């Protein structure tokens, strides 16, 4: 057999093997693609479509209203209030939970014997049922029998109505949000800390980084860049998506002081049954998330050192 014919056979076999691998890859990816299509892409398309209609649950007919729903959002005081509340909540919960999560991770990483115990303790809020924990926090923040106000009274400080006053309810929910998020952020930062080569700390010590603070800024913080980017993204996304604690503890009150975006969408869609208007709110909500993600990656990704 000539060398040309042999080369042709080899090329044909390689092409056949490549096509077989491609078919196998598509077959393996098919379930995930179908699920993505059914539970993500199609619902998003439906929401965008309904946002241009006046569809209401219980009514068979609807009409296209163009951008009327979006124009109404600009003058909707409830929507503006919920947007502001969500922004304040996110501005408190995201940075505080990130800083505390990193601090706890550094403390646990430096602990030798009880590391597993502290990991479990700090991760419990993440694994706990939010319904049960909401009951506990409702008791803690209770204005008359709550232990928090009891401690304040021992110091001669009158305790406020944490969940029942307009000027404290959002900050109270923020405390719960921080408590929920710290454990998850801690686990992510611990994973990042474990991946840092120990040799870098030895090299930094030789170069003159004698204190722990010097080694943190010289080695730990730059090497945690990818982890920090992911934690910031997840923390902001989870804070913007707050709903369960608001629904169970305050129901948006008092006087809409704790009403957030997802709660307003829920009210419009499932209480007032105005699905078209709720869909327009959802599109705005998704657009906010996308913009936040793009801004984060544009700003933070440039400062991240990948290894």
Q: Is 176 among the domain residues?
A: yes
Q: How many domains does the chain have?
A: 1
pLDDT in the model for residue 7: 56
Q: Is 16 among the domain residues?
A: no
Q: CB of 274 within 8 A of CB of 66?
A: no
pLDDT in the model for residue 217: 87
DSSP 103-124: HHHHHHHH-STTHHHHHHHHHH
Mean confidence (pLDDT) of the chain:
87
Assess whether pLDDT exceeds 90 at residue 96: yes
Domain holding 195, by residue range, is: 68-302
* Residue 3 pLDDT class (50, 70, 90 cuts): low
Give CA–CA dist 146/169, Å, rounded. Answer: 15
Give CA–CA dist 127/75, Å, rounded. Answer: 40
Q: CB of 201 within 8 A of CB of 253?
A: no
Q: CB of 217 within 8 A of CB of 132?
A: no
CA distances from 289 to 73, 239, 259, 261 (A): 17, 11, 18, 12
Assess whether pLDDT exceeds 90 at residue 6: no
pLDDT in the model for residue 12: 66
pLDDT in tens, 32-42: 999 999 999 99
pLDDT in the model for residue 138: 92
CB atoms within 10 A of CB 235: 24
pLDDT in the model for residue 197: 87
- pTM of the predicted model as reported, rounded to 2 decimal places: 0.87
Q: Is 23 among the domain residues?
A: no
* Residue 81 pLDDT class (50, 70, 90 cuts): very high
Give CA–CA dist 307/304, Å, rounded. Answer: 10
pLDDT in the model for residue 235: 94
* Residue 260 pLDDT class (50, 70, 90 cuts): very high
Three-state DSSP class for residue 64: strand
Q: Is 58 among the domain residues?
A: no
CB atoms within 10 A of CB 72: 13
Give CA–CA dist 205/224, Å, rounded. Answer: 18
Q: Is 33 among the domain residues?
A: no
Q: Which residues are CB-contacts of 109 (< 8 A; sequence separation ≥ 6)?
A: 115, 190, 193, 194
pLDDT in tens, 112-168: 676 777 777 777 787 777 888 888 999 999 999 999 999 999 988 888 999 999 999
pLDDT in the model for residue 4: 54
Q: Is 235 among the domain residues?
A: yes
Q: Which of 54-58, 115-119, 231-235 bottoms out in mean pLDDT, i.e. has the lowest?
A: 115-119
Give CA–CA dist 162/299, Å, rounded. Answer: 36
Q: Is 242 among the domain residues?
A: yes
Regarding predicted confidence, which is higher, 203 or 243?
Answer: 243
Q: How far is CA 294 from the centre of its chain?
A: 15
pLDDT in the model for residue 76: 93
Give CA–CA dist 147/139, Å, rounded. Answer: 8
pLDDT in the model for residue 57: 84
Average pLDDT over residues 195-201: 86
SS (H, E, C) 142-158: CCCCCHHHHHHHHCCCC
Q: What is the CATH number of the domain that holds 215?
A: 1.10.3720.10
């Amino acid at each position: 057999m000539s060398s040309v014919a042999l080369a042709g056979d080899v090329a044909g076999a390689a092409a056949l093997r490549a096509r077989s691998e491609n078919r196998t890859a598509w077959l393996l990816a098919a379930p995930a693609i179908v699920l993505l299509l059914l539970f993500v892409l199609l619902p998003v398309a439906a929401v965008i479509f309904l946002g241009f209609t006046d569809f209401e649950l219980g009514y068979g007919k609807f009409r296209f209203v163009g951008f009327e729903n979006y124009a109404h959002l600009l003058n909707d005081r409830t929507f503006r209030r919920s947007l502001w509340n969500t922004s304040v909540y996110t501005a408190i919960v995201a940075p505080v939970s990130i800083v505390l999560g990193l601090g706890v991770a550094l403390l646990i990483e430096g602990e030798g014997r009880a590391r597993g115990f502290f990991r479990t303790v700090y991760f419990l809020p993440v694994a706990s049922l939010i319904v049960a924990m909401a009951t506990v926090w409702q008791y803690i923040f209770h204005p008359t029998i709550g232990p928090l106000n009891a401690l304040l009274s021992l110091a001669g400080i009158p305790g406020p109505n944490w969940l029942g006053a307009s000027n404290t309810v959002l900050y109270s929910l923020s405390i719960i949000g921080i408590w929920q998020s710290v454990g998850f952020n801690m686990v992510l930062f611990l994973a990042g800390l474990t991946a840092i080569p120990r040799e870098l700390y030895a090299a930094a010590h030789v170069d003159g980084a004698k204190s722990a603070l010097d080694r943190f800024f010289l080695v730990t913080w730059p090497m945690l860049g990818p982890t920090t980017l992911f934690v910031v993204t997840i923390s902001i996304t989870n804070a913007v998506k707050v709903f369960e604690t608001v629904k169970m503890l305050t129901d948006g009150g008092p006087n809409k002081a704790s009403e957030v975006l997802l709660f307003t969408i829920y009210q419009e869609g499932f209480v007032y049954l105005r699905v078209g208007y709720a869909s327009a709110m959802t599109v705005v909500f998704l657009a906010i998330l996308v913009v936040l993600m793009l801004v984060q990656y544009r700003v933070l990704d440039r400062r991240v050192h990948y290894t």
